[in-house]
């Protein structure tokens, strides 16, 4: 009997072993190091005959078990990473177990994605006419939105870029204020070129676009269409462009409005903060990331668009008879970059169904409250300097030291803080200063986590700063 046949015979036992390992890991998330990585020796020699599932799990435990960090835990505040809700985990396990292709309309997978997108539009208050679909993450959502914008730009000049390519269109521009790095990456992939992004000034002391400066730029184009990428939650300070004011400009100037709301879109869940998104219902395309504040597993995000005809012009599987006629038979694979993909909608369906609008309102409001608490603690401590008001869920600060040693001390502080395993934060630069950012979007995070993190922060800052004079 081969190892594969033997594993088939004992599938239930293998799943039980996997469950026990997973349960042990999840039960220790509150105690695990947030970002303290144990060095792992790589053994890149594939076995000739294989060892079977049970032995593979044991080898995994021995080689990698101590190097599993708590990126899904309550004190991982690096990047913008949510955890995995219990219901989302259920959905993800089922996704792997049933192994359905999201393009297969002969099974329930198509209906599940359609229903999940409907739930999400209701959660975010987006109009029914928006078409939504799942992609791997915010990068691919931004890529899809910009691809539609590129198609729209071409059509303004009588060219079908999806069909005929970019020839004759060397001067296409993307305009933004504080774009995420994935915007430039998407431009490179789309043939628009990273250097063709035009950055409009921000308001003083903000990361929000100066709408008057944007209008002056649009007026200077004399009717030439562009793509504008609005920020609905910048990564450093969660600042928002005035989307309503930008929408008003669309009445006078031709541009495609893409809203990058990767995590800022979840402000729609909160009565206190949903005004930040006023006007986004008039956008042409919107990015929202699911493995951030929705707290479902990697990889999952959504692209919403009010121009599905442009989507299909770009992403259709023309000439693939076995996939059917894109014009006559709707299928998500004709509206996004991927054909074969896992059923990313199911973890989201489980979590949305399990916790509802109220559950996500509580997650968002709790994270914002805790971020404000951390900001208040930082303001009260002379070792730190808050660089921006805490607008939503990210706290951006630096060490209160002289400029000539700031970068060195910030690096020392972060290295020591992350090595402590108590909390993880990331480096950044804000207003030209070396800075630190903490992003709180995990459903597990509590006030005790904030206090635990702050205690580690103060101890490490005191040790590192020692005799240095405050700025």
Kindly state the average pLDDT of the residues 48-72.
91
Length of the chain: 471
| Maximum C-alpha span of the chain | 74
**For residue 235, how many C-alpha atoms fall within 13 Å in the half-sphere facing its CB?**
22
Q: Would residue 50 be called left, alpha or beta, if left means φ above 0 and alpha means ψ between -120 and 50 degrees?
A: left
pLDDT of residue 53: 96
pLDDT of residue 151: 95
On the question of pLDDT at 227 being above 80, the answer is yes
Tell me how many degrees the CA angle 38-43-46 measures, rounded to the nearest 5: 140
Q: What percent of the chain has pLDDT over 70?
A: 96
pLDDT of residue 38: 67
Single out the residue of 279, 310, 323 nearest to residue 152, CA to CA: 310
105-122 pLDDT tens trace: 878 999 999 999 999 999
Whether the CB-CB separation of 233 and 270 falls below 8 Å is answered with no
Whether the CB-CB separation of 411 and 436 falls below 8 Å is answered with no
Question: Residue 192, class by beta-carbon neighbours within 10 Å (0-12 exposed, 13-18 middle, 19+ buried)?
Answer: buried
Tokens linked to 365: 């409001």
334-366 pLDDT tens trace: 999 998 888 999 999 999 999 999 999 999 999
On the question of pLDDT at 389 being above 70, the answer is yes
Whether the CB-CB separation of 152 and 225 falls below 8 Å is answered with yes
Q: Is 172 helix (H, G, I), strand (E, B) or coil?
A: coil
On the question of pLDDT at 469 being above 70, the answer is no
Q: How confident is the model at residue 20 (pLDDT cuts 50, 70, 90)?
A: very high
**What is the C-alpha to C-alpha distance for residues 107 and 104, in angstroms, rounded to an integer?**
6
DSSP at 200: P
pLDDT of residue 373: 98
pLDDT of residue 146: 97
pLDDT of residue 467: 56
**What is the C-alpha to C-alpha distance for residues 287 and 128, in angstroms, rounded to an integer?**
16
Kindly state the average pLDDT of the residues 313-318.
90
DSSP at 39: P
pLDDT of residue 37: 63
User: Which residue shows structure tokens 């409001």?
Assistant: 365
258-278 pLDDT tens trace: 999 999 999 999 999 999 999
Q: Is 13 helix (H, G, I), strand (E, B) or coil?
A: helix
> What sign has the CA pseudo-torsion 104, 109, 110, 113?
negative
210-220 pLDDT tens trace: 999 999 999 99
Cβ within 8 Å of residue 366, ≥6 positions away? 445
The phi and psi torsions of 412 (rounded to 5 degrees) equal -60, -45
Q: How confident is the model at residue 104 (pLDDT cuts 50, 70, 90)?
A: confident
Q: What percent of the chain has pLDDT over 90?
A: 80
Q: How confident is the model at residue 207 (pLDDT cuts 50, 70, 90)?
A: very high
Q: How confident is the model at residue 251 (pLDDT cuts 50, 70, 90)?
A: very high
Q: Would residue 319 be called left, alpha or beta, if left means φ above 0 and alpha means ψ between -120 and 50 degrees?
A: left
Q: Which CATH number fits domain 99-350: 3.40.640.10, 3.50.50.60, 3.40.50.720, 3.10.450.30?
A: 3.40.640.10
Single out the residue of 162, 170, 197, 173 nearest to residue 307, CA to CA: 162
- pLDDT top residue among 330 and 383: 383
| pTM, rounded to two decimals | 0.95
Quote the mean pLDDT of the chain. 93
On the question of pLDDT at 168 being above 80, the answer is no
pLDDT of residue 48: 87
The phi and psi torsions of 142 (rounded to 5 degrees) equal -65, -40
Give, for 88, the enclosing helix (H) or strand (E): helix 86-98
What are residue 292's DSSP bridge partners?
none
User: Which residue shows structure tokens 């006078």?
Assistant: 252
Kindly state the average pLDDT of the residues 191-200.
93
Instruction: List the beta strands (DSSP E) in 359-393.
Output: 384-386
pLDDT of residue 271: 96
Whether the CB-CB separation of 341 and 301 falls below 8 Å is answered with no
Which of 49-58, 68-77, 143-152, 462-471 shows the lowest per-residue confidence on average (mean pLDDT)?
A: 462-471
Kindly state the average pLDDT of the residues 239-244.
98
For β-strands 131-135 and 301-305, DSSP reports them as antiparallel
Kindly state the average pLDDT of the residues 153-178.
87
Q: ω into residue 299 within 30 of 0, thus cis?
A: yes
């Amino acid at each position: 009997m081969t190892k594969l046949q033997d594993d088939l015979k004992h599938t239930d036992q293998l799943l039980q072993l996997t469950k026990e390992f997973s349960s042990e890991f999840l039960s220790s998330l509150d105690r695990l190091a947030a970002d303290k990585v144990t060095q792992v020796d790589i053994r890149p020699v594939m076995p000739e005959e294989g060892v079977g599932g049970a032995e593979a799990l044991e080898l995994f435990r021995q080689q990698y078990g101590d190097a599993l960090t708590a990126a899904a835990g309550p004190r991982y505040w690096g990047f913008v990473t949510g955890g995995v809700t219990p219901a989302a985990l259920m959905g993800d396990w089922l996704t792997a177990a049933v192994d359905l292709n999201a393009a297969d309309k002969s099974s329930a997978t198509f209906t599940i994605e359609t229903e999940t997108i409907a739930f999400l539009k209701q959660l975010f208050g987006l109009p029914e006419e928006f078409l939504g679909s799942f992609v791997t993450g915010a990068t691919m959502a931004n890529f899809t939105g910009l691809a539609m914008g590129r198609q729209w730009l071409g059509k303004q000049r009588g060219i079908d870029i999806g069909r005929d390519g970019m020839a004759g269109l060397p001067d296409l521009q993307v305009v933004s204020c504080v774009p995420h790095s994935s915007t430039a990456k998407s431009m490179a992939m789309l043939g628009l070129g990273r250097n063709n992004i035009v950055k409009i000034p921000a308001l003083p002391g903000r990361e929000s676009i100066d709408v008057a400066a944007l209008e002056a730029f649009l007026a200077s184009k004399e009717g030439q269409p562009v793509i504008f990428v609005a920020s609905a939650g910048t990564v450093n300070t969660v600042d928002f462009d005035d989307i309503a004011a930008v929408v008003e400009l669309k009445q006078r100037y031709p541009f495609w409005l893409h809203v990058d709301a990767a995590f800022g879109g979840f402000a729609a869940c909160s009565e206190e903060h949903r005004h930040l998104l006023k006007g986004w219902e008039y956008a042409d395309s919107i990015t929202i990331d699911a493995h951030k504040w929705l707290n479902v597993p990697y990889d999952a995000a959504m692209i919403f668009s009010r121009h599905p005809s442009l989507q299909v012009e770009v992403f259709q599987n023309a000439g693939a008879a076995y996939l059917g006629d894109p014009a006559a038979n709707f299928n998500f694979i004709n509206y996004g970059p991927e054909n074969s993909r896992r059923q990313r909608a199911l973890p989201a369906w489980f979590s949305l169904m399990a916790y509802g609008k109220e559950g996500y309102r509580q997650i968002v409001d709790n994270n914002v409250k805790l971020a404000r608490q951390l900001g208040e603690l930082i303001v009260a401590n002379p070792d730190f300097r808050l660089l921006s008001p805490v607008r939503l869920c990210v706290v951006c600060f630096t060490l209160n030291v002289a400029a000539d040693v700031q970068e060195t001390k910030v690096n020392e502080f972060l290295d020591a803080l992350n090595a402590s395993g108590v909390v993880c934060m990331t480096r950044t630069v804000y207003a030209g200063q070396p800075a630190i950012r903490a992003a709180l979007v995990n459903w597990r995070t509590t006030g005790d986590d904030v206090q635990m993190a702050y205690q580690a922060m103060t101890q490490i800052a005191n040790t590192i700063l020692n005799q240095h004079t405050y700025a």
